[in-house]
Structure 1
Amino acid sequence: MDGFVGRRTELATLEDLLAPVVTGGRGGRRGRAVLIRGRRRVGKSRLVEEFLERSGFPHVFFTAVGGSKQEDLAGFAAEVAGSELPDASHVADFSVPQTWDAALNLLAGVLPADTPSVVVFDEMPYLVREDPAFEGALQKAFDRTLSKLPVLLILIGSDLAMMEQLNTYGRPFYQRGTEMVVPPLNPAEVAAMLDLPPADAFDAFLITGGLPLILEEWPRGADLWGYLDRALRRPTSALLISGERALAAEFPTEAQARTVLSAIGHGERTFTLIGRAAGGLNPGSLTRSLELLTSRRIVAADTPLSTRPSRETRYRIEDPYLRFWLSFIGPGIPTIERGRGERVVEAIRSSWPSWRGRAVEPVLRDALWRLADDRLPPGTDAIGGYWTRSNDPEIDIVGADRSPIAKKVTLVGSIKWLENKPFDQRDLSRLIVHRSQLPGADDATPLLAVARSGCTAGGIAHLTPDDLLDAWA
């Protein structure tokens, strides 16, 4: 199965960055740098490997493994020595460098001056954490030598917050590299990769999060239950092991944050209920854990969208796959390891309609935001939801001119994501009542139904899975 469905944009971006390295830049500075970030197992390294293979230029690809500084330096020197760089064999004549200044000087000495080359540092956040001097050494090497050579420097990292900070004001590498985000495959790409109809593609996206490693083991054309029945019989399935590996990498020592994350993954959404489910954490400890989780983009903190400010924050797992894993797979691993994966499948099946109904909401809001210019009322620049503490009302879709506090509400909508149950007249009547309770909306505010199984109510615009998948076309 092609692991590069939907990666044309990312490959084209890397090719554009390589172009001035090949043809020559202004002022004699041909070197370029790019900082690539994205969630773990999203395919960043594989993307770069494909790019390197297509470019055909000599390269060094070094992956940090979280060891000591000395191990990293030795590993880097070994990668340079074993690379296809024309003078790489000369590295064996030198002792292992003891500092990154020395290691990068060694690299600069063997990079060709007349042929383009590429240097890759994968899992760069490990290097920054292990040696605070690494950033400064890299900046100095880039300014003095690398930027004057025909080399593309690629820095890859899965710690999203740290990778963003590397290119901020006050950091050594500030404004020296182009930032690039590698997202998971989107629902349209999932549909193309697995040859699934739109509604089933959204299901597959909710389970896999668009992670290529998991999608590659999904049989082409298989529906949700066909895949789960197969995957949950194998303890080595990527569906099982990817979640635990991601958590171990993100939280090697923060056990409390993992406890809070598990509480959110099991469905708790408010500050009070999360704290209670996490073992009665005091407010200060819970606040710190939530700040850590949101700063790492693992948890999203949502607020109601209307013309009136609100403090009714709700928390959710940002990554659909991790949300599914925390809800079903993680708790079911002991059962799967006993060879009873069918029990986990049945547990998923019994909870699936209600779980999916909640999990699909942020995905569909993202689709609506992407469709705003073509399918939604003019001036819709923000899509969210609305709720009160008592959940009366609770509105799935609110379109507005801005967020989090709107000047104008442009749209009020409802999501009904069930098989064989279209959005009907009763659903429309309920939506009209809820619209009357939304600050900023009135009887003239347009209504929208987003329904998996179509719409039988009259007088309301509606969108189907086919329409929504077009958001990523």
Structure 2
Amino acid sequence: MIREFVDREIEAALLEEEWQKAGGRLIILYGRRRIGKTRLITEFIRGKQGILHFAEDTAPQVQIRRFQAAVAEFFGDSLLASLDLTSWGQIFSYLAQKPVPERRYLVIDEFTYLIKNDPAILSALQKAWDTALSGSNWCIILAGSMLGMMSDLALSSTSPIYGRRTRDILLGALRFPDARKMLPTFSFRDALRVHLTIGGIPEYLLKAGDYSDYTTFVGREFFNRYGYFYREPYFMLSQEFRELRTYQAILNAIAVGKTAPGTIAQFCGMDTRHLYPYLEAMTRLGFIERELPLLGNRRQGLYRIADSIFDFWYNFVFSRRQAIETNGLAPDAVDLNPYFGKQFEAFVRDEFARVVFPGCTTGRWWYRDAEIDLVAVDEKAGSVVFGECKWGGLSKMEARGVLARLEQKAGLVRHARYPAERFCLVSGGDIGGKDRLREEGFLVYDMTDIEAAFGGGG
């Protein structure tokens, strides 16, 4: 069954815009595995004519023959099909010399497999583009999942096709409102827990959508040796890097709370100076990101895992593989709440705050042992909101205690440009005395409010 095509309006519009422009178009479409590149392409070419070629990780000669067959079939050219072509230059020369009277597409999906096995394809494409394709009716889309290779060989200034592309599109994860559409049988809280676990990756969400509750999903697909996600992060990492032990150790360190370079290096048993190339490589490819405190010392950067499935996997699966291999692991045997607490904070900053504090710059603040989960700055109004996030519910007394401590910590932040201060509490459960706290001027949101902010329903 073909599932509903969710979101991607902006990316689809960009592709359509390129299609409508005159002359040849060369589009680089890239993004991590399972992000939905192929589905976007499929929707885009619907009703259009052209060549759609799915590349495979095999020998260059096999790749050339398969591509040659696809081109020959499109043109109905039996002579081309019978030729013994040995280079990419020959097939691209054919395309350059073969006129097409109207707009047509040439899509090569998983283009990185072709680059990986024969980088000469880039020079062949560049020559054909410069001589004829740039002024043709071809709309060429090169899609790839190996982010390092796409960045280094297709997008960098040293690439033969640098300066030729007319558009590059990095396909990102779905935001929660769109991700939730792919989980129609889940309660709101369970849909949120799924999102905090696997993020907004469409294919992952489709897998989760086979279940009706979070616990069963995690038990079957993470804590089971035959689960869909049991080896997935390892495969993704191995696709990009060679020194897997070092990269895995670093991700494990960050997952369990070692977020400063010094503590990461100590956890991994390596010199801090030797750590930075690994951090830079993973940052460049989007596995991790460096956070800086908002309204704080901008040199005190900490690292967090940007892709939630990696965070979950290195927290709970990586260190329990022996138990999972032997007997499997029951989800209730693991305390997931600290993980949800951490991810809930990021969700509030990245998603919920966009809804309730539109136009604000959001982040967090820390200095030594003090930390504020949410800082939302409105430059135009000269105001700032300081917030605390709690995954669990809070009694009236607990909520007051959290807000009192928040006000104390806010006094440590130097922010003369924002004289108007407000204080906020966001909970993934219920908050006792919520209405009374609001009357006193606090911004208070519990799970009911979060659900309402994202459209209600279940």
Q: TM-score range by the shorter chain?
A: 0.7 to 0.9
**Equivalence for 2:443:** 461
Residues 322 and 293 (structure 1 numbering): CA distance in 2 closer, same or farther, change over 3 Å?
same
Tell me the TM-score normalised to structure 1 length. Answer: 0.83
Deviation of 1:395 (Å): 0.3
- C-alpha spacing 1:119/1:203, structure 2 compared with 1 (3 Å): same
Taking the aligned partners of 2:155 and 2:209, their CA distance within structure 1 comes to: 40
User: Residue 173 and residue 55 in structure 1: after superposition, are their counterparts in 2 closer, same or farther (change >3 A)?
Assistant: farther
Provide the C-alpha distance between the structure 1 equivalents of 2:367 and 2:137, rounded to a whole number of angstroms: 58
- Residue in structure 2 matched with residue 386 of structure 1 by the alignment: 365
Q: Give the one of 300, 311, 319 matched to 1:323.
A: 311
Aligned partner of 2:241 among 244, 248, 251: 251
Structure 2 CA distance, aligned partners of 1:245 and 1:78? 31
1:58 and 2:50 matched? yes
Question: Would the aligned equivalents of 1:35 and 1:154 in 2 still touch at CA under 8 Å?
Answer: yes
Quote the residue 1:157 is aligned against: 144
Q: 2:390 is matched with which residue? A: 416
CA–CA distance in structure 2, aligned partners of residues 175 and 92 of structure 1: 29
Pairing 1:283-362 to 2, within 5 Å after superposition: 283-306=272-295, 308-342=296-330, 345-348=331-334, 350=335, 352-362=336-346
Q: 1:269·1:316 contact (CA, 8 Å) conserved in 2?
A: yes
| Contact persistence 2:182–2:209 (CA under 8 A) | no
Choose the corresponding residue for 1:76, options 53, 57, 67.
67
2:235 counterpart letter in structure 1: R
Q: Retained in 2: the 8 A contact 1:206–1:320?
A: yes
Aligned equivalent of 2:171, options 171, 179, 182: 182
Q: Which amino acid aligns with 1:17?
A: E
Match of 2:26 among 21, 33, 46: 33
2:186 matched to 1:212?
no
Q: Kindly state the Cα deviation for residue 229 of structure 1 after the two structures are TM-superposed.
A: 3.1
SS at match of 1:217: helix
Per the alignment, residue 446 of structure 1 pairs with 422
Give the Cα separation in 1 of the matches to 2:7 and 2:63.
33
Deviation track 1:108-131 (CA, whole Å, cap 9, x = no partner) reads 455x61243321223334444544
Q: 3-state DSSP class of the match of 2:52?
A: strand
CA distance in 2, matches of 1:448, 1:338: 46
Question: Given the superposition, is the C-alpha separation of residues 130 and 408 from structure 1 closer, same or farther in structure 2, using an over 3 Å criterion?
Answer: farther
Q: Distance in 2 between matches of 1:265 and 1:285?
A: 20
Change (3 A) 1:168 1:293: closer
Give the structure 1 partner of residue 349 of structure 2.
365
- Of residues 398, 401, 406, the one that matches 1:426 is 401
Quick one: which amino acid aligns to residue 80 of structure 1? V
Task: Tell me the SS of whatever aligns to 1:395.
Answer: strand
Inter-CA distance 433–175: structure 2 relative to 1 (3 Å threshold): farther
Query: For each residue in 1:329-357, what CA deviation from the matched residue of structure 2 results, as whole angstroms up to 9, or x when unmatched?
Result: 33334433334232xx1343x2x111111
* Contact kept? 1:135, 1:173, Cα under 8 Å: no
Q: Using the alignment, how far apart are the partners of 1:412 and 1:395 within structure 2? A: 7
Contact residue 388 and residue 426 of structure 2 kept, 8 A: yes
In structure 2, C-alpha distance between the alignment counterparts of 1:419 and 1:103, rounded to whole Å? 63
Structure 2 equivalent of residue 273 of structure 1: 263
Return the offset for 1:167: 4.2
State the Cα deviation string for residues 253-303 of structure 1 (Å, max 9, x = none). 45423322232233321112211221x101221112111111222111112
State the Cα RMSD in Å.
3.1
Displacement of 1:224 after TM fit?
A: 1.4
Superposition deviation, residue 64 in structure 1: 4.3
Please state whether the residue corresponding to 1:34 is helix, strand or coil: strand
Which residue type is aligned with residue 451 of structure 2? D
Contact 1:37 1:181 in 2 (8 A): yes
Structure 1 residues 92-171: aligned runs within 5 Å = 92-98=81-87, 100-109=88-97, 113-160=100-147, 162-164=149-151, 166-167=154-155, 171=159
Q: Matched residue of 2:392: which SS?
A: coil
Counterpart of 1:201 in 2: which secondary structure? helix
In the other structure, the counterpart of 1:46 is 39
Identity value in percent: 27
For 2:410 and 2:294, how far apart are their aligned partners in 1? 13
TM-score, structure 2 length as denominator?
0.85
Alpha-carbon distance in structure 2 between the residues aligned to 1:449 and 1:240: 35
Three-state SS of the structure 1 residue aligned to 2:429 is coil
- The 8 Å contact of residues 367 and 469 in structure 1, kept in 2 or not, is answered as no
**Residue pair 1:299, 1:316 contacting (<8 A) in 2 also:** yes
Give 2:372's aligned residue. Answer: 395
**416-425 vs 268-277, greater mean Cα deviation:** 416-425
Change (3 A) 1:208 1:337: same
Q: Is the CA contact (8 Å cut-off) linking 1:34 and 1:178 kept in structure 2?
A: yes
Per-residue CA shift, 1:206-248, capped at 9, x if unaligned? 1222222222222467221132233357534322232222112
Q: Residues of 1 paired with 2:151 and 2:283: CA distance? A: 14
Change in CA separation of 1:128 and 1:428 when aligned onto 2, cut-off 3 Å: same
